[in-house]
């Protein structure tokens, strides 16, 4: 079985849970004999032991100048139908290319940064040229797309090939932006789900959003929870020696510092805990648009000596920080799933998660709070740090749950979906 898969990030170039989920899924699918060609806008970093054939879109499209002009004209008309992308697009910019110097009919290659910057919408549309070309020229059984950035490319590949399209929704614009979604992104999400043969989502709460907010038929949406890599972390044990001086405790927040992740509630709870427990430090690891505001909030509370911001962390530093932590908090305002609590459990760390997260649906024994209830969050932190017995019980219960969560089972379910459409 051959699958053409579109994503926006893949290890070692990842900025969040999307790349981690794509890696875990594809690794497990490859062990089941599924042959995956994974397309990203641009390959960054050295690839080692990849479970997929990883291709950068910037190296895929050589097409003649006349073919390129024909496709850009097609997309310029296409964009104007039902999707108000024009505020984000300048077609003079869109048609920028790298050209050989030998004549007008030589190959043209499209440029990509592969980032989430100001030109993201332009790159999303250019990316769809890759989908059209691969769908027309290559032979695959199924097309599988991850999140809205890839939906146009998947649709173009489906049109060109006639193959079934699966779109995998890891997060929606309502999760990222609350009740004020970006209209252009919302339109692309809705368009992609409408054109897909099947929609996979990562939690029941997210399926409800897709049905209620996007008008997608419930029977078209399948819930498949994410999992976590269960690699050997025994060598990380010695790192715990770094932080146990003076019986100190570390409470960790790890994720994008954005409205969706609820960082302000973590800081507010930290202030209340610090008033009660003298030997605790709080760490906020990650980057995002609210980082500066959160630093200012922390400083205004006069807890600067007990609070640390690390910035974005790579995989090794993430592992090291998990190994140093005593408690993990995910106070997300709206979290489609949330892989990081599973990573914490893997490191034998008790976790507290918000009721507004998908992971709360499967962590039956975790402590769950509403994200806005900082009083309860603070008291829960105090209780766990003050009672080693309670923390140990939470760890043991969650570890039993973790045993049932494996990318192998996720991959089996996804492969069954593929087979149903072949």
* pLDDT for the residue 99: 40
- pTM as predicted: 0.82
% of the chain with per-residue pLDDT over 70: 80
Q: Which residues contact 31 (CB under 8 A, 6 or more apart)?
A: 51, 408, 411
- What's the number of CA atoms in the CB half-sphere (13 Å) around residue 403? 6
User: Mean pLDDT score of the chain, rounded to an integer?
Assistant: 83
Residue 282 token pair: 């709080």
φ, ψ at 2 (rounded to 5°): -115, 130
DSSP letters of 77-124?
HHHTTT---GGG--HHHHT-EEE-SS-TTSEEEE----S-STTHHHHH
Checking if the pLDDT of 412 tops 90, the result is yes
Cα separation, 42 vs 10, whole angstroms: 10
Higher pLDDT among residues 199 and 175, named by residue: 199
- Looking at residue 413, its pLDDT comes to 95
C-alpha 361/C-alpha 343 separation (Å) is: 16
Q: What is the pLDDT of residues 11-65, one digit of tens each?
A: 766 666 788 899 999 999 999 999 999 999 888 766 667 889 998 888 776 555 6
User: 278-304: string of b/e by CB count within 10 Å (b at 16+)?
Assistant: eebbbbbbbbbebbeebbebbeeeebe
* Average pLDDT of the segment spanning 161-169: 96
Please work out, in degrees rounded to the nearest 5, the angle formed at the alpha carbon of residue 173 by the alpha carbons of 169 and 176. Answer: 105
The pLDDT of residue 100 is above 50: no
Confidence at residue 384, expressed as pLDDT on a 0 to 100 scale? 94
Report pLDDT for 241.
40
Kindly state the average pLDDT of the residues 386-404: 86
The CA-based diameter of the chain, rounded to the nearest angstrom, is: 74
Architecture in CATH of 2-227+409-421: 3-Layer(aba) Sandwich (3.40)
Q: For residues 247 and 173, which has the higher predicted lDDT (pLDDT)? A: 173
pLDDT score at 74: 54
pLDDT of 159 > 50? The answer is: yes
Model confidence over 308-346: pLDDT tens digits? 999 988 878 888 899 889 999 999 999 999 989 999 998
Tens digits of per-residue pLDDT, 113-130?
666 666 677 788 778 888
pLDDT at 61: 61
CATH 3.40.50.2000 placement within the chain? 2-227+409-421, 234-403
Q: Average pLDDT for residues 408-412, to the nearest whole number?
A: 95
Q: What is the DSSP string of 138-175?
A: S--SEEEEESGGGHHHHHHHHHHH---EEEEES--HHH
pLDDT of residue 284: 95
Annotate 4-44 with DSSP letters as a single string. EEE-S-BTTB-SSHHHHHHHHHHHHHHHTT-EEEEEESS--
- Rounded to an integer, the average pLDDT of 254-272 is 94
**What confidence score (pLDDT) does residue 16 get?**
67
CATH number of 234-403: 3.40.50.2000
pLDDT value at residue 237 = 44
Tokens of 411: 């991959």
> Average pLDDT, stretch 189-199?
95
Residue 215 confidence (pLDDT) above 50: yes
Cis-peptide into 233, omega within 30 deg: no
Predicted local distance difference test score (pLDDT) of residue 367:
92
Sort residue 27 into left (φ over 0), alpha (ψ -120 to 50) or beta.
alpha
- How far is the first Cα of the chain from the last one, in angstroms, to the nearest whole number? 9
Query: Highest-confidence range of 184-188, 244-248, 281-285, by mean pLDDT?
Result: 281-285
pLDDT for 91 equals 40
Residue 315 tokens read as: 């995989």
Give DSSP secondary structure letters for 220-284. Answer: GEEE----------GGGGGGGGGT-GGG-EEEEEES--SGGG-HHHHHHHHHHHHHH-TTEEEEE
Name which residue leads in pLDDT, 124 or 292.
292
């Amino acid at each position: 079985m051959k699958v053409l898969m579109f994503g926006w990030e893949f290890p070692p170039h990842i900025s969040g849970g999307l790349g981690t989920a794509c890696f875990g899924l594809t690794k497990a699918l490859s062990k089941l004999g599924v042959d995956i060609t994974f397309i990203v806008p641009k390959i960054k970093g050295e690839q080692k032991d990849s479970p997929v054939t990883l291709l950068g879109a910037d190296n895929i499209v050589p097409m003649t100048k006349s073919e390129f002009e024909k496709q850009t004209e097609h997309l310029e008309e296409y964009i104007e139908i039902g999707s108000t992308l024009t505020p984000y697009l300048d077609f003079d910019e869109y048609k920028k290319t790298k050209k050989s110097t030998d004549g007008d009919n030589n190959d043209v290659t499209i440029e990509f940064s592969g980032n989430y910057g100001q030109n993201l919408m332009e790159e999303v549309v250019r990316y769809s040229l890759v989908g059209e070309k691969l769908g027309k020229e290559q032979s695959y059984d199924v097309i599988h797309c991850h999140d809205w950035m890839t939906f146009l490319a998947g649709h173009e590949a489906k049109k060109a090939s006639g193959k079934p399209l699966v779109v995998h929704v890891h997060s929606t614009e309502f999760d990222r932006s609350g009740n004020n979604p970006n209209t252009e992104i919302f339109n692309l999400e809705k368009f992609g789900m409408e054109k897909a043969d099947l929609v996979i989502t990562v939690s029941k709460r997210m399926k409800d959003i897709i049905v209620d907010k996007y008008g997608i038929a419930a029977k078209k949406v399948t819930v498949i929870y994410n999992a976590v890599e269960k690699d050997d972390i025994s060598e990380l044990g010695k790192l715990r020696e770094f932080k146990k001086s003076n019986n100190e405790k570390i409470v960790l927040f790890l994720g994008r510092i954005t409205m969706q992740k609820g960082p302000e509630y973590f800081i507010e709870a930290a202030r209340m805990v610090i008033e009660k427990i003298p030997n605790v430090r709080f760490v906020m690891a990650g980057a995002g648009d609210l980082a500066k505001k959160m630093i200012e909030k922390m400083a205004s509370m006069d807890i600067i000596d007990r609070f640390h911001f690390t910035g974005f962390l790579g995989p090794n530093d993430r592992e090291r920080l998990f190994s140093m932590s005593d408690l993990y908090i995910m106070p997300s305002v709206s979290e489609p799933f949330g892989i990081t609590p599973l990573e914490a459990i893997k490191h034998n760390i008790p976790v507290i998660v918000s009721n507004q997260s998908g992971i709360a649906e499967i962590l039956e024994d975790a402590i769950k709070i509403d994200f806005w209830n900082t009083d309860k969050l603070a008291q829960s932190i105090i209780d766990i740090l003050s009672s080693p017995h309670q923390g140990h019980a939470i760890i043991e219960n969650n570890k039993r749950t973790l045993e049932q969560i494996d990318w192998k089972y996720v991959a089996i379910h996804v492969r069954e979906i593929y087979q149903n459409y072949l």
